[in-house]
Structure 1
Amino acid sequence: MSKEPSPKTQMQIIIAVLIFCLGAFIYLAPLYFKGSTFDPNAGPFNWGLVATIFVGLSVLGFWYEFERSAKGAKEIALVSMLGTISALSRLPFAAMLNFQPCTFFIICSGYVFGPVAGFMVASLTALISNFFLGHGPWTPYQMFTWGLVGITAGWLRKLNLSPKTSIIVLAVFGFLWGWLYGIIINVWFWTSFVFPLTLKTYLYTLANAVIWDATHALANVLFIIIFGAKVINILERFKKRFYWDVQN
Structure 2
Amino acid sequence: MTTTAPPTAPDERSGHHPAPLLLGGRPSLVGRLRSMTVYLLVLVIGVAAFLYPFWLPSSALPSQAHAGDAPLVAALVGALAVGAVALEIRRGTMTGTTVAILGMLSALAGLMKLLDLPGGGSGLFFLVILAGAAFGPRFGMILGITSFVVSAVLSGGIGPWLPFQMLALGWMGAGAGFIGHATRRMSPWAEVGVLAAYGWVWGFVFGAILNLWFWPFQRGGSLDWAPGMSLAQSLDRYWSFYVATSLAWDAAGALANAVIILIVGRALMATLRRYANRLEPVTILEPATT
Corresponding residue for residue 67 of structure 1: 86
Corresponding residue for residue 59 of structure 2: 42
- Counterpart pick for 2:102 among 72, 79, 90: 79
- Counterpart pick for 2:261 among 204, 209, 224: 224
Query: After superposition, what is the alpha-carbon deviation per residue over 1:63-108, rounded to whole angstroms, capped at 9, x for unaligned?
Result: 31113213432211111001111111121217x5531221110011
Query: After superposition, what is the alpha-carbon deviation per residue over 1:24-76, rounded to whole angstroms, capped at 9, x for unaligned?
Result: 45534454x4xxxx32x223678835577446523431331113213432211
Confirm or deny: 8 A CA contact 1:52 1:141 kept in the other structure.
Answer: no
Q: Does residue 1:141 correspond to 2:141, yes or no?
A: no
Cα deviation, residue 206, structure 1: 2.2
What is the percentage of aligned positions where both structures have the same residue? 25
Aligned pair in 2 of structure 1 residues 44, 180: CA closer, same or farther (>3 Å)? closer
Aligned pair in 2 of structure 1 residues 145, 92: CA closer, same or farther (>3 Å)? same
- Please give the TM-score of this superposition, normalised by the length of structure 1: 0.79
Runs of 5+ in structure 1 lacking a partner?
A: none
The structure 1 segments of at least 4 consecutive aligned residues displaced by more than 6 Å after TM superposition are 44-47
Confirm or deny: 8 A CA contact 2:111 2:151 kept in the other structure.
Answer: yes
Confirm or deny: 8 A CA contact 1:122 1:150 kept in the other structure.
Answer: yes
Runs of 5+ in structure 2 lacking a partner?
A: 1-21, 227-233, 283-290
Corresponding residue for residue 195 of structure 1: 219
Q: Looking at CA atoms only, which structure, 1 or 2, has the larger radius of gyration?
A: 2
Aligned-partner Cα distance in 2 for 1:69–1:13: 10
Aligned pair in 2 of structure 1 residues 29, 127: CA closer, same or farther (>3 Å)? closer
Confirm or deny: 8 A CA contact 1:195 1:201 kept in the other structure.
Answer: no
Give the RMSD, CA atoms, in angstroms.
Answer: 3.1
Aligned-partner Cα distance in 1 for 2:40–2:83: 18
Aligned pair in 2 of structure 1 residues 24, 78: CA closer, same or farther (>3 Å)? closer
| Correspondence list, 1:145-184, <5 A | 145-159=168-182, 160-162=184-186, 163-184=188-209
Name the count of aligned residue pairs: 235
- Counterpart pick for 1:92 among 115, 130, 143: 115
Query: After superposition, what is the alpha-carbon deviation per residue over 1:180-211, rounded to whole angstroms, capped at 9, x for unaligned?
Result: 1011111223245x126442664454231122
